[in-house]
Structure 1
Amino acid sequence: MAQINAAILGAGRIAQSMAKTLVAMAVDERYRDLVAPYAVAARDGERAAEFAAKYGFPVSYGSYEELAADPNVNLVYIATPHNFHAEQAVLCMRAGKGVLVEKAFGANAAQSQEMLDVSAQTGMLCTEAIWTRYMPSRAMIDDIIASGAIGEVQAIEANLCYPTTAKARITDPALAGGALLDVGVYPINFIDMIMHNAPIARIESSMQPFETGVDAHDSMTFYYENGVMATAQSSILCHSDRMGAVWGTKGYLTCQNINNVESIDVFDGTHTVTAHYDVPAQLTGYEYEVAAAAQAVLDGRTECAEMPHADTMRIMKLMDSLRADWELTYPFEA
C-alpha cells in the first residue's frame, strides 16, 4: 500500500469534522499521497449516502458490518458514543482494519483492555484519537519547560467546560454521558503530557451530578510523588476560559485553549511576557492524528508513539478511579 483508504464509522457531528479533515488532506501536498477519503457507514443507509455525497466520499454503507467487510478499507475512524467503541473497534480489527478510536477510548478500562487485546491478537493498529496528543503544541510546551524559562515546575492548572446539556448523548448514562469522558479527558491529558507519566501519590476530587445521574461538573487535584500539584476542572454546565497554565520557580506559561492550543505565552517572575508562540496553521487539527495512524498502518504497527497503549490504559484507569470515588457507574456496567 502506498496510500491509506480511510473510512468513518458513524455520521454525527464529530464524523463531519473528520470528513472535512480527510477531504482537506486529500488535496494537501503534505498528505495527499498518504490518505484518501473512501467510505462512511451509518445505521441508516440513506443518511450514510447523504453524508458521502456531501463530502465526496465514493462509498457509503447502511451498516457497520458492511463497512468492516469492504476489503478496500485500511483505516476506520470510530466516531460513535463512548460505550460503542469497543464493540465496533473489535469488529473492524477482526476484519483486518486499523482503527482510530475517538476519545474517550472506551467507557471504562475493561472495554479499553478488550480493544488492545484484540489489537495484539490481530496485529491491527488501535490508537486513541485524542487530537491534542498528536499536535505540534505538545512539543512546543515541552521545549519551553526544558529550556528552563519558567524554572522548576511546581504546579499545573487546566480546565475545559462547555454548556452541552441540550445534547441528549451528553446527559444519557446509557451512552456513558457526563463531563469526564467528554471534556474532562482533555485537562487530564494536558497535565499528563507535561508530567510525562510521573507517578501520582494521591488524588482528591469532587463531582456535581446532573439530574440524570451523570457527572456535570468535576474538580480533580493530582498530587505527584515529585511534589508537583496539578488541578483540573471540567463541566457540561458552563463556559470556562479553557486555559492551561504551568507554574514554575522562575515564571510560568499559559496556553490558550487546551482543547486545541492556539498560542503560548511565557511570563517571568514580574508577570512580564518574555515570549509568545503561535501554533502552526492547521487544516482542522485532526490531520495530525490521521497522518500518524495512517503511517502506523503502513508500517505495520499496532500503536502510535504519540498515544501508546500504555498511556491510553493509564488514563482510562485513572478515570475509572475517579468515577469509583464518585460512586458513578453506567447502566451497562451493572
Structure 2
Amino acid sequence: MPGTPTALPTALPAARTPDPMDAPALRWGVMGTGWIAERFVRSVHRHTRQRFTAVASRDAARAEDFAGRHGVPGSYGSYEDLAAAPDVDVVYIATEHTAHLACARIALEGGKHILVEKPIGLDAAQAAEIAELATGQGLFCAEALWTFFLPKFDVIRQLLDSGALGEIHTVLADLGEYFTAEHRILRPELAGGPLLDLGTYPVSLATWVLGAPAETLASGQPHPAGVNGQTSAILRGPQGSQAVLHTTLFSDTPTTATLAGSRATLSLPGPFYQPGDLVLTPSGGGTQLTYTEPRTAHDALYYEAAEVARCIAAGLRETPLRPLEDSVVTLRAMDEIRRLCGITFDQ
C-alpha cells in the first residue's frame, strides 16, 4: 500500500539490492529438472557464489543427465533421497505445480530450507499448509516469485513506500503467451491453463499494491485442450481502488502493467514482470522520469537465490521481499477468480 505523500521526486531512486556475489554461499539441492530448473541453475551459477550439490527427479536418468550438464556432483532418483542428503542446506523446488506441496513436505521434514517455484501451491490452503509446516520446523520458506526480488521492483517498492504516486486508484496488468499443443500448460492433469503459470504475475502485482481484494469479478474462456484458455478479472481493493487483469494462453499480448495514482502514473513496459524499464509520469503532465536496467529476462533468477541465502544466514524464516502471507493472499484471490470462472483442478 502507498505511504504518506511526499514531493514528487526529481529522479527515480536507485535500487537497494545488495550485490548477489556478497550473499553467503549455501549448498543447494534441486527437485525437478525442467525448463525453469535449467534456467535457475545457470543463472545462479553465473552470478552468485551459491553451490549446487544435488539434483533429484523421479527419473534417475534425468537427474543424472541434468547433474552432468550443470556440474552438480550428486543426483538422485527420488526426492526423499535428496531431502536426506547431508550436503544440502536449502532445496529449490521446481517440479510441476501439482507436486509442490508434496515436495515441500518432503524437504521440510528432511530438515531443509525451501524455495518453492511459483505458485507455491495450487491454492491458498496448500500455501498456508506449507507456511505452517515451515514455521513448525523452524525452517526458511519462500515462494520463488522472482519478480519481487528484481532491482526494478525495489525501485517500485520505494516509490510506493514514499507515497510518490499518491493514492493508487488503478492497477492494470496483462500477461498473454501463445503455447503449442505439446506444452504442459495445456494438460488438465497438471493444473494447466494460464492462471497459475502466467496469471500469478498480474494478480500478485495487484494484491501487493492494493491489498487483498474486497470484491472480485471474473470471466473465463475454455481452451479446446480441456483447460481454461483465458481469464479476465476486476479486483476491488479495500479502499475501492480497482485492478483490471488479464491472462491468456491463446495469444501473445503486450504484457504491460500500469500503477495509476493521484499524483503520478508508473508504467511498466512489457514484459512487466522481468528486468527492464519503469516510466513515471506526473499527473497532468510534466517531466517523465525513467529507470532502466538491462532486459536480461530469466538470467535474472539469481536475485531470488541471493536473497534466500542472505535470509537463511541471518536466521530469518521468510523474506520481507515476498512474505509468505503475501503468497497466501495472492492465491486466495486466484481461488476466487477460479470459483467465479468455474475453473477446477482434478487435485
Q: In the alignment, which residue of structure 2 is the partner of 1:319?
A: 334
Distance in 1, Cα, partners of 2:204 & 2:88: 30
Q: In the alignment, which residue of structure 2 is the partner of 1:239?
A: 252
1:310 to 311, 320, 325: 325
Q: Secondary structure at the match of 1:276?
A: strand
Q: Identify if the C-alpha distance between structure 1 residues 145 and 125 changes in structure 2 by more than 3 Å, giving closer, same or farther.
A: closer
Q: Secondary structure at the match of 1:284?
A: helix
Distance in 2, Cα, partners of 1:279 & 1:146: 21
Q: Could you tell me how far 1:6 is from its partner in structure 2?
A: 0.8
1:12 to 20, 31, 34: 34
2:199 to 184, 188, 195: 184
1:264 to 272, 275, 278: 278
1:276 to 287, 290, 293: 290
1:21 to 43, 55, 74: 43
Distance in 2, Cα, partners of 1:204 & 1:273: 36
Q: Could you tell me how far 1:107 is from its partner in structure 2?
A: 1.0
Whose RCO is larger (CA < 8 A, sep 6+)?
2
Q: Secondary structure at the match of 1:286?
A: helix
Distance in 2, Cα, partners of 1:111 & 1:81: 14
* Structure 2 letter corresponding to 1:249: S
The answer to whether the 8 Å contact 1:160/1:259 transfers is: no
The question of 1:252 aligning with 2:265 is answered: yes
Q: Secondary structure at the match of 1:43?
A: coil
Deviates more, 1:172-181 or 1:115-124: 115-124
The answer to whether the 8 Å contact 1:187/1:258 transfers is: no
TM value normalised by structure 1: 0.90
The question of 1:219 aligning with 2:232 is answered: yes
Q: Could you tell me how far 1:231 is from its partner in structure 2?
A: 0.7
5+ residue gaps, structure 1, are 26-30
Q: Could you tell me how far 1:200 is from its partner in structure 2?
A: 2.5
Number of residue equivalences? 322
The answer to whether the 8 Å contact 2:208/2:326 transfers is: no
% same residue: 31
Distance in 2, Cα, partners of 1:46 & 1:135: 34
1:157 to 147, 165, 172: 172
The answer to whether the 8 Å contact 1:48/1:61 transfers is: yes
Matches within 5 A, 1:95-244: 95-145=110-160, 150-195=165-210, 197=211, 199-244=212-257
The answer to whether the 8 Å contact 1:5/1:75 transfers is: yes
**Which 4+ runs in 1 deviate beyond 6 A?**
280-283
Q: Identify if the C-alpha distance between structure 1 residues 117 and 146 changes in structure 2 by more than 3 Å, giving closer, same or farther.
A: closer
1:249-279: CA deviation from partner (whole Å, max 9, x where unpaired): 3442211222214001122346665111113
Q: Secondary structure at the match of 2:300?
A: coil
* Structure 2 letter corresponding to 1:276: T
* Structure 2 letter corresponding to 1:82: H
Distance in 2, Cα, partners of 1:272 & 1:237: 38
Deviates more, 1:138-147 or 1:68-77: 138-147
Distance in 2, Cα, partners of 1:90 & 1:134: 24
Q: Could you tell me how far 1:3 is from its partner in structure 2?
A: 3.1
Deviates more, 1:175-184 or 1:114-123: 114-123
5+ residue gaps, structure 2, are 1-23
The answer to whether the 8 Å contact 1:142/1:194 transfers is: no
Q: Identify if the C-alpha distance between structure 1 residues 160 and 281 changes in structure 2 by more than 3 Å, giving closer, same or farther.
A: closer
Deviates more, 1:77-86 or 1:246-255: 246-255
Q: Secondary structure at the match of 1:6?
A: strand
The answer to whether the 8 Å contact 2:98/2:190 transfers is: yes
